[in-house]
Structure 1
Amino acid sequence: MAWRMPAETAPHERTWMAFPREGRTLGESAAEREEAYAAWSDVAHAVAEFEPVSMVVDPSESDRAARMLGSAIEVREAPLDEYWMRDMGPTFVVDDDRPGVLGAVDWTFNGWGAPGWADWRLSAEIGRFVADEVGAELVSSLLVNEGGGIHVDGEGTVLLTETVQLDPRRNPFADRARVEAEMVRTIGAAHAVWLPRGLTRDYDAFGTNGHVDIVATIPSPGRLLLHAQRDAGHPDAAVTAELRALLAEQTDAAGRRFDIVELPAPETLRDDEGFVDWSYVNHLVVNGGVIACGFGEERADAVARGILEDAYPGRKVVTVDARAIFARGGGIHCITQQQPKAAS
């Protein structure tokens, strides 16, 4: 078997999501909780305009999910605690030597390093649940990893972050060689590009410790979209400048230097918790479209849409307000997971 994770731009069968449920990160007040339910539902409906959406729903939220999602979203019940599908769910792969075969990499999930606040043991089973639901071959992995911690070009390149895969709270005995070997075995990516770190907010108590899907992505082989914080008053200005300099010296699996396209951060610098990590990089590519994060800034949102339209020619870019999602630790890419079509 030679598994390969297709690029996100490859045709999808569907997108998977998980519906929020009561818990520490949902919100303290009824209004905050309703804000979260609405944000997840808005993303689901936006994606459903382009491709089918399957939503995993905890039995405790079945009535609310039915009311908010309606008939446009397929619901599949399973016990949940966390609801960030990109991270707890499977990473789908294909086998080019076996047409029509779909694989599902079941990373080990421990709630982003087993912090005291995270409830993750139920959701650690969702990779297997989704694999069973779609009849995918399970590709088990002992590596503690999350889907938001990797980005691929579908042609052998993977973006990783030293503070994620080499995090001692995740993989205390891992080194680069072991991680890279697992990337080859599970997703067919033989060329790793390591980032030294992620964005500042991502190292707060509720962060992921440096997920790449809020920093950089590969819209097409040889090209990078990179988060760019241009306000010197934000600590990510120095971070993104450092990352750009590093990535400018890197090559992909084909030996090409990356064409780096900056996605400027919105103008807002802070919220009630400190410096924000609002990022347009955290978008989802769907069949014929792109679901982009919006931050209530008309000019900045429009600039990002234009850059994404150029990066993904022929796709319609739709903006969905992602502020309620970011307030809980992630963005649109973090709450979704694409299931590629397995070529017949």
Structure 2
Amino acid sequence: MVWKMPHEGMEHERTWMAFPREGITLGDGAEWREGGYRAWADVALAIAEFEPVTMIVDPSERRRAANMLGGAVELVEAPLDEYWMRDCGPTFALDDERPGVLGAVDWIFNGWGAPDWASWGKSALIAEFIAERLGCERLPSLLVNEGGGIHVDGEGTILLTETVQLDRRRNPFADKQRVEAEMARLLGATRAIWLPRGLTRDYDDLGTNGHVDIVATMPSPGRILLHQQTDAAHPDHAISAELKHLLAGERDAAGRSFEIIDLPAPSTLRDDGGFVDWSYVNHVVVNGGVIACGFGDEYADARAREILEDAYPGRAVVTVEARPIFARGGGIHCITQQQPAVARAEHPER
């Protein structure tokens, strides 16, 4: 068995999501909660225009999900507490030696480092639930990790963050060598590139402590889309410059240096919670399209669409309002997880 995680731009069988349920992450007040439900539903409906979507729904939210999603999205009941599918759900891989064989990596999920506010016991079982439902091979791991903490190019390169996989609240005995060995075993990653940290807001209570999927992604081998904060008044201005300098000196698994494409942040610097981490990097690639985050900034949203259209040629880029998702600690990429098609597909265009 040689497991390999395909690039996100490869053909998908479907996208998996989980519907919000009442709790700390969703928040208090009917209007505020409705904004969360609406944001998740809008993302699902946008993706459903391109490929099938299966939504895991806690039994307590079945009626609401059915009313908001209609027949456009498949609903599957399972107990949930958290509902960030990228993180609690499986990371899918294909077996290079057995074409057509799908594997579901089941990381240990502990609510992003077992913070006091989080409840994760039910959602920690979702990866196994999905693997059983699909009848695919479950690939258990002893590593605490989340899907938002990794990005791959499908050719052996993986992006990681030192404050995530090496977080002592997640993996107190891990070092880079152990983490890289697990990424090689389960995802086929032979070249790990470690970022020293993530964006400032991501270290707040509801943050992930530095997920890479809000900072950088590889739209195709040899290329990196990198979050760029252009305003020196924001602390991420220095962080994005540091990461650009680091990545400029790195090479991928094939020995190539990276073409780095800046993806500028919107103009808003702060909200009621402090400096924002609004990032267009946190998009999701779907069959024939890209679902991009929107932040109510007409100019910046349009500029991001243009950059993404160029980075993913031939795909339609659709913007969906993402501020209610970011207010809860993540973005569009964080609430989705692609299931690759088992048939071989050509490499995404450069």
TM-score by length of 1: 1.00
Cα deviation code 1:68-112 (max 9, x no counterpart): 010010000000000000000000000121111100000000000
| 2:224 match | 224
Q: Distance in 2 between matches of 1:191 and 1:130?
A: 29
User: Which residue identity does 2:196 align to in structure 1?
Assistant: P
Task: Specify the alignment match of 1:142 in structure 2.
Answer: 142
Which residue matches 2:308? 308
Other structure's SS at 1:56 match? strand
Give the Cα separation in 2 of the matches to 1:101 and 1:46.
29
Q: 2: CA distance between counterparts of 1:283 and 1:21?
A: 23
- What is the Cα deviation at residue 132 of structure 1? 1.0
Specify the SS of the correspondent of 1:60. helix
Separation in 2, partners of 1:321, 1:14: 22
Cα distance in structure 1, aligned partners of 2:7 and 2:163: 24
Q: Which residue of 2 aligns with 1:286?
A: 286
Distance 1:133 1:323 in 2: 32
Instruction: Report the residue type matching 2:104 in the other structure.
Output: A
Q: How far has the Cα of 1:234 moved from its partner?
A: 0.1
AA partner of residue 7 (structure 1): H
Aligned Cα root-mean-square deviation (Å): 0.5
Deviation at 1:133, TM superposition (A): 1.3
Alpha-carbon displacement from aligned partner over 1:103-131 (angstroms, at most 9, x marks no partner): 00000000000000001010000000111
SS in 1 for 2:71: helix
- Tell me whether 1:131 sits opposite 2:135 in the alignment: no
- 2:199 corresponds in structure 1 to 199
Aligned to 2:320: 320
Provide, for residues 269-310 of structure 1, a one-character-per-residue CA deviation record: whole Å limited to 9, x for no partner: 000000000000000000000000000010000000000000
Q: What is the CA-CA distance between 1:134 and the residue it aligns to?
A: 1.2
Q: Which residue of 2 aligns with 1:274?
A: 274
Instruction: Report the Cα distance in structure 2 between the residues aligned to 1:45 and 1:343, rounded to whole angstroms.
Output: 25
After TM superposition, give the deviation of residue 206 of structure 1 in Å. Answer: 1.0
Equivalent AA in structure 1 for residue 199 of structure 2: L
Distance in 2 between residues matched to 1:105 and 1:86, nearest whole Å: 12
Q: Which residue of 2 is the match for residue 85 of structure 1?
A: 85
Mapped partners of 1:206, 1:36: distance in 2: 15
Aligned partner of 1:43 in structure 2 is: 43
Q: Which residue of 1 aligns with 2:163?
A: 163
Aligned partner of 2:236 in structure 1 is 236
- Tell me how far 1:195 sits from its aligned partner: 0.2
- Matched residue of 1:63: which SS? helix
State the partner residue of 1:97. Answer: 97
Q: Which residue of 2 aligns with 1:24?
A: 24
Q: Distance in 2 between matches of 1:150 and 1:252?
A: 15
> 5+ unaligned residues in a row in structure 2: which ranges?
345-350
**Counterpart-to-counterpart distance in 2, 1:291 and 1:221:** 20
Amino acid at match of 2:234: H
What CA distance in whole angstroms lies between the structure 2 residues aligned with 1:197 and 1:85?
22
Letter in 2 for 1:240: S
Structure 1 gap ranges (5+): none
Distance (whole Å) between structure 2 residues aligned to residue 328 and residue 287 of structure 1: 27
User: TM-score, normalised to structure 2's length?
Assistant: 0.98
Aligned-partner SS, 1:241: helix
Using the aligned pairs only, state the percent identity: 74
Q: Report deviation, 1:177.
A: 0.2
Which AA in structure 2 matches 1:302? A
